Structure 1
Amino acid sequence: MEKSTQIYGIRAVIEAINANEPIDKVFIQKGLKGDLSRELETLLRKNGIIASYVPIEKLNRLTKNNHQGVVANISPIRFLSIEEMVANVTENGKAPLFLLLDQLSDVRNFGAIIRTAECTGVDGIIIQKRGAAPVTADTIKTSAGAAFRVPIAKVDHIKDAVFFLQASGIQVVAATEKTDNTIYDVSFTSPTAIIMGSEDMGISPSILKASDHLAKLPMLGSIGSLNVSVACGVFLYEVVRQRQDTLSK
């Protein structure tokens, strides 16, 4: 059952953090003062929870209730650490398949990607704490419930996740048009993580540079790109195809 995704009031948010609720993001009124607000900010830093400082008008739009200058979103799912996610998969002895989303911002694209990830055997999805699409009711609906089945990890920076995965023996393949290599030039049979970029900017240049391989989809029409969730599906099913071929030999 999906739980409420919003709480408001300084004390309520503090209690939720202390109760280890999966806080996704906190909105704090700019210039908020007082002992409780300082206690909240200390807890946020300690727990690595992202806070946005916004005008009171923003908070008034988020809720009609007495928010006391603070509104928080609670994710309907619990997030893993990347260390826990990778350990859980590698202990199974299979060649893992991970998906990294670099600044993907649309919740429906996120939901569609999660749904495809579940259908293609993705072992986990990694997103960045700041700037990534949240897991909302729309995400859950668009994923057809797959968000409850595919582990999701949050990291401070996608680039750090790339380095961690590489150190764990996992090749990192970036989906980008800025290469001559297509997905058919890359072997996905070994442990792999695929990076998909944001809807408007693609993958950050520094992350492209850190990746092991760059790969693009061959485009035969006049439109130069696909929707990111569609492109992600093509990449993932190429992994499925290659791994099925390997298993059948």
Structure 2
Amino acid sequence: MQKTEKIYGIRAVIEAIHTDETIDKVFLQKGLKGDSYRELETLIRKKGINTAYVPVEKLNRLTKGNHQGVIAHISPISFFELEELIEGTLNSKKQPLFLLLDQISDVRNFGAIIRTAECTGVDGIIVPRKGAAPVTSDTIKTSAGAAFKVPMTKVNHIKDAIFYLQASGVKVVAATEKTENSIYDVSFKGPCSIVMGSEGMGISPSTLKSVDEKAKLPMLGEIGSLNVSVACGVFLYEVLRQRSLS
């Protein structure tokens, strides 16, 4: 069942964090002071919650209630722990498929990717705690409900997940134009994962250095790239194509 998408008020947000609600992002009014506010800031830093400091006008647009300078977005889904997701999948499948999203920020792109991931049998989606698109009602709608079906996990850094996957025997392939390798020259048989980069910046350089292989899509037109959700779909269906030939 979908939870309330926003909560507001300093004490309400503190209590939500203490009760382990899945909070995607907290908006804090610039310049706030006071003991309760400092308590909230300390708790947010400790939990590694995505935070934005904004003017009061922004908060007033987000809610008509007495927000006290604090609004939190609550995720409508629950997230798995990384180890639980990967180990559980590896114990039940011979050819697991994971998807890592490096700073995908558009909620509709995120939703479209989740929908394709569900259709292609992705076993888990991994996103960073900070800088990633939240799971909102728009995400749920664009995913056609798939957000409730595909397991997801958040990590402090995408590289943490890459190292854990590699140590678990899962190959990590980056979708990037910064390579000479075509997607059709890379094997996706066996346990593997695909890294997709953000809409504007692609995959971060440090993340690219960590992967096992890189692959690009052939581009014949004048436009140099595809929408990330479309590119992700091409990669995921290439995985299915290769595995169907096994």
Give the TM-score of the pair, scaled to structure 2.
Answer: 0.96
* 1:19 Cα deviation after fit: 2.0
- Quick check: 1:15 aligned with 2:15? yes
1:213 counterpart residue number: 213
Shift of 1:50: 2.2
* Whole-Å separation in 1 of the counterparts to 2:161 and 2:242: 25
State the alpha-carbon separation in 1 of the partners of residues 76 and 226 from structure 2.
Answer: 29
Local SS of the residue matching 1:77 = coil
Quote the offset at 1:51 in angstroms. Answer: 2.2
User: Which residue identity does 2:227 align to in structure 1?
Assistant: N
Q: Is the 8 A contact 2:49 2:130 kept in 1?
A: no
Pairwise CA distance, 1:121: 0.5
Partner of residue 48, structure 2: 48
Note if 1:175 corresponds to 2:190.
Answer: no
> 1:221: Cα distance to partner?
2.3
The answer as to whether partners of 2:97 and 2:124 remain within 8 angstroms in 1 is yes
Counterpart residue type for residue 134 of structure 2 = P
**Partner AA of 1:200 in structure 2:** G
> What's 1:5 paired with?
5
- The CA deviation at 1:48 is 2.6
- What percentage of residue pairs aligned between the two structures are identical? 73
Within a 5 Å distance, the mapping from 1:88-167 to structure 2 comes to 88-167=88-167
Farther off after superposition, 22-31 or 106-115: 22-31
Please list the CA deviations of residues 94-148 of structure 1 after superposition, one character each: whole Å capped at 9, or x if unmatched.
Answer: 2211001111111111000000000000000111111111111000000000000
Deviations 1:129-183 (A, max 9, x none): 1111111100000000000000111111112221121111111100011111111
Between the aligned partners of 1:54 and 1:163, the Cα distance in structure 2 is 35
Which amino acid letter does the alignment assign opposite residue 14 of structure 2? I
TM-score (norm 1): 0.95
- Partner secondary structure for residue 209 of structure 2: helix
Which moves more between the two structures, 5-14 or 39-48?
39-48
Residues 102 and 197, structure 2, Cα contact 8 Å, conserved in 1: yes
1:228 alignment counterpart = 228
Q: Which amino acid aligns with 2:147?
A: A
Cα-Cα RMSD = 1.2
> Unaligned stretches of 5+ in structure 1?
none
For residue 70 of structure 2, what is the aligned residue in structure 1? 70
Distance of 1:186 and 1:241 partners within structure 2: 12
Amino acid at match of 1:212: D
